[in-house]
Amino acid sequence: MFALSFHEFAHAWMASKCGDNTAARMGRLTLNPMAHLDVMGSMMILFVGFGWAKPVPVDGRNLENPRVDMMKVAAAGPLSNLLLAMLAGMVFRLLNGTGLLSESIYLLILYFTQINIALAVFNLIPVAPLDGSQIFSAYLMRKNPQLAWKIQSYGPQVLFGLILFGYITGFSILWLFMRPFVNFFMILFWYIIFVTSMTSITMKNMKIIFFRVFFYFFYKFF
């Protein structure tokens, strides 16, 4: 639930930075999970293992540059989850070798990291009402307005259908699409954590790390 709350808080924070205080006035600029709680989404988490929080309200009329700022607000959510995943890795790095890293704590950190990466990847899918639809909508509107309109109009039904299909059959089409990206970011994050524990990180090192992980990922999973 904290991952979802932090995700929505990031949307509200970015909207405020871009000039729209609608979410702040409605009490959404907070990390308190109760402010972001959605009853149906919470029930889905308990019974299905998948759910959502209340979307943060954003009034595009208050934004300084509506097209660009809406993309920033949308991107803030997934980026916040990647940040949490990185922070979890840093906690692991600090505890590793101290004797404080028990198996249960290690599994908790691993689970927390994977949950946040999966949430980020899921929200980047360019289907309404996910953040990815807002991030890529400006590009689609210029290239193919009809496709953009269809994604916005029929996206929620398609998304719900895919989730329901996975729940009923036990075969998730969404996870089939998401898994390679989740695995890639998991390997990338943990590789960075272990490498930075042995050497100072530079932009050149980051490029080397990225390409090493990229080729290792495709060698292992494809």
Which are the catalytic amino acids? 8
Give CA–CA dist 31/71, Å, rounded. 22
Asked if residue 58 lies in contact with residue 20, where contact means CB atoms within 8 angstroms, the answer is yes
Instruction: Residue 28: name the closest of 79, 77, 83, 84 by CA.
Output: 77
Helix (H) or strand (E) holding 142: helix 131-143
Residue 116: which of 10, 213, 205 has the closest Cα?
Answer: 10
Residue 57: strand, helix, or coil: coil
Alpha-carbon gap, residue 78 to 127, rounded angstroms = 14
| Residue 21 tokens, joined | 């205080």
Based on DSSP, count helices (H) and strands (E) in the chain, helices before strands: 10, 0
